[in-house]
Structure 1
Amino acid sequence: MLATRHIVLFLGFSLSVEAALADSLHVCVDKNPLPPFVYSEKINGAGQLRGYSLDLIKQLLTGAGSAFDIKSLTTADIQKKLQSPDPKSGCDIVLDINKTPAQEAFLWLTPPIYQLNYDVMYSWERYMTGMGVKSLADLNKLKMCGINGYDYGSLSKQLKIKLIPNVKDAIFELKDKSCDGFIAEGVVMRYGQRMNSYQVPPVGCIRLDGTAKTYHIGIAKHVVGANLLLSKIQQQLTILSAKSGSLSKLAETYDVNAISCQERLNVSP
């Protein structure tokens, strides 16, 4: 009798989890665009969200049979909703998460969906044969710029980085030689150059080996059945990876593969 009761309770719990997952999941994306991963583009005169990470999560959730909607919110609102213990807070899934203990306190993370490196971008017209640096000490003799709010990790302790409010201003300082080099994730810069978003001049780059960061899809721990959802998404990610060229085609569509730099410099953590 007791065993039967346990089976009934387990089935009841499983059904309640499945019912909760049947409700629309809220995928929250930052209003601050992060091309080519999530951004808005005018299509037929109307703004439409697209990007590598957004297309990927749509495919994964559709494959998992999970209903979902997309919400565009401020960074502060997303963080508040994700950290809330309330399952109805309004944010269940978030994209482009760098794995840190702080994030893992309230999120379950998928395996990496992409990896980025920091590169030193410099004006090709100014340094046609490269910057010729051999060490971080050499870089510190030059004027390095970065973006305020970026997580430069150990680089910020090893390099003197002048922080600029946004990418457009940093590009301007690169053009007028207020900065000798601009430390950025080269993939993001390449997209801006391709779309003429930042009016990026012809640039060369130095790959900063040792600065790689992986990015993940995060599922809020307050989601009922979060572990089951994580398992379903990981299963779909495995299926998509196994499909001939599926992920590669998506990466090619949004040009998210690592850029090729003329020089390399090793950075110890």
Structure 2
Amino acid sequence: MPYYLVYLIAIFCSALASAEIVVNSKVKICDDVAEWPPFTYFKRVDKTKTAEVQGFSVDLIKTILTRNNIKYEIDLLPWKRCLHEVEKGDQYHMILNATKNKERESAYYFSESIYQTHYFYFYSKKNHPTGLDIRVQSDLNNYKIGGIHGYAYSALTELDKNKMSRTVDYPSLLKMLYAGHIEVFAEDFEAIAGMSEIGVYNFMNDPQLGMAVLPDTEDNKFYMIFTKRNPLGQELRLLVNKELMRLQKSGELRKMLSNYLRP
């Protein structure tokens, strides 16, 4: 048999085997239990949190996996545990929303970008009635800054993250701000607005909370990420990227995102 035919048959068999791995497996997905609305969060009924997880990223992965007849399950875990579990690749295989940095690139496979957010900085009007002197991103280093445990803050390239005081979630971050333990925090505007929308806390209408666009900062790109320690991770990455291309070309991806983000 000619060599090139042997080569093509080997490629074909490998592709079939890879597809079989995904189809015959139940994909275990995790994300942050602190919620990341409007991308991943618990559904509310009469302002009461339920166990059902919804959001743009949930709709996206549901569309991709059900179209390919792949079973899946989504759990929201403490963020650092979710990262650890997907890195191990035993119980969980992928995460729905993550930013990129060198450390994570060495530990996970990344999809193409699925959406992007925009950084604002937030401060107490009571403690700083005239606002903060923030003209470039590095000016944040002149203030006591807070953040969330385990978050990469990849777009904050000029920030000394070692000096960041961290806590578990956004309401706790706000308490630190108003208590004077920190002076500022920089976060994705879409997530803060999403927290207000689902009733975690009404950040957007808090008269004591000042906010402004963080200058000198690029849009924050988000990705789905996959384990490198389980063969399922690479196959999921390939499948997600293929389906993302299809959804982008058809306009479905933009339509799905518009259901959660106001123009």
Same fold (TM over 0.5): yes
Indicate yes or no: 2:235 matched with 1:207. no
Which TM-score applies when normalising by structure 1? 0.73
Task: Specify the alignment match of 1:193 in structure 2.
Answer: 196
- Displacement of 1:10 in angstroms is 4.8
Please state how far the C-alpha of 1:48 moved relative to its aligned partner. Answer: 0.5
How far the C-alpha of 1:25 sits from its partner, in A, is 3.8
Matched-pair contact (CA < 8 Å) for 2:136–2:215: no
1:237 matched to 2:237: no
CA contact (8 A) 2:136 2:214 kept: no
Q: Is the 8 A contact 2:137 2:217 kept in 1?
A: no
**Structure 2 residue aligned with 1:70:** 73
CA distance in 2, matches of 1:222, 1:162: 32
Are residues 1:56 and 2:60 paired? yes
5+ residue gaps, structure 1, are: 258-269
Distance 1:165 1:79 in 2: 15
* Contact 1:96-1:215 within 8 A present in 2 as well: yes
Within 5 Å, give how 1:35-184 maps onto structure 2: 35-36=36-37, 37-43=39-45, 46-63=50-67, 65-72=68-75, 73-75=77-79, 77-84=81-88, 89-123=90-124, 131=132, 133-135=134-136, 142-152=143-153, 153-157=156-160, 161-175=164-178, 179-184=182-187
Distance 1:142 1:25, change over 3 A: same
Question: Cα deviation per residue 1:221-241 (whole Å; 9 max; x = unaligned)?
Answer: 344475554333222212212
C-alpha displacement at 1:50, in angstroms?
Answer: 0.7
RMSD (CA atoms): 3.6
Task: Tell me, yes or no, if the aligned pair for 2:141 and 2:160 is still in contact at 8 Å.
Answer: no
Structure 2: gaps (5+ residues): none
1-side partners of 2:161 and 2:187: how far apart? Answer: 16
Give the C-alpha shift of residue 142 in structure 1: 5.0
- 1:23-52 C-alpha deviation (Å, 9 max, x unpaired): 134142135233212121234874210112
Q: 1:95 to 1:256 in 2, by over 3 A?
A: farther
The CA deviation at 1:124 is 6.2
C-alpha contact 2:34 2:169 (8 A) present in aligned 1: no
Which residue is equivalent to 1:267?
Answer: none
| Distance in 2 of aligned mates of 1:187 and 1:142 | 23
CA separation in 2, counterparts of 1:80 and 1:137?
A: 30
CA distance in 1, matches of 2:138, 2:11: 62
Q: CA deviation at 1:58?
A: 1.2
Shift of 1:182: 2.8
Aligned with 1:105: secondary structure? helix
| Distance in 2, Cα, partners of 1:103 & 1:174 | 29
Query: In structure 2, do the counterparts of structure 1 residues 8 and 256 end up closer, same or farther at CA, with 3 Å as the change threshold?
Result: same
Alignment deviations for residues 199-226 of structure 1 (CA, whole Å, 9 cap, x no partner): 4214431323325432111232344475
1:247 aligns with 2:253: yes
Q: Percent identity?
A: 19
Where does residue 218 of structure 1 map in the other structure? 225
Tell me which amino acid in the other structure corresponds to 2:63.
Q
Equivalent position SS for 1:254 = coil
Comparing 8-17 with 23-32, greater Cα deviation is found at: 8-17
- Aligned residue in 1 for 2:27: 26
Instruction: Report Cα offsets for 1:118-173 as digits up to 9, x if no partner.
Output: 32123568878754543567655555443344334534328964444532133234
Task: Give the number of the structure whose alpha-carbon radius of gyration is greater.
Answer: 1
Task: Please tell me the residue identity of whatever aligns with 1:207.
Answer: L
Query: Which SS does the other structure have where 2:152 is aligned?
Result: coil
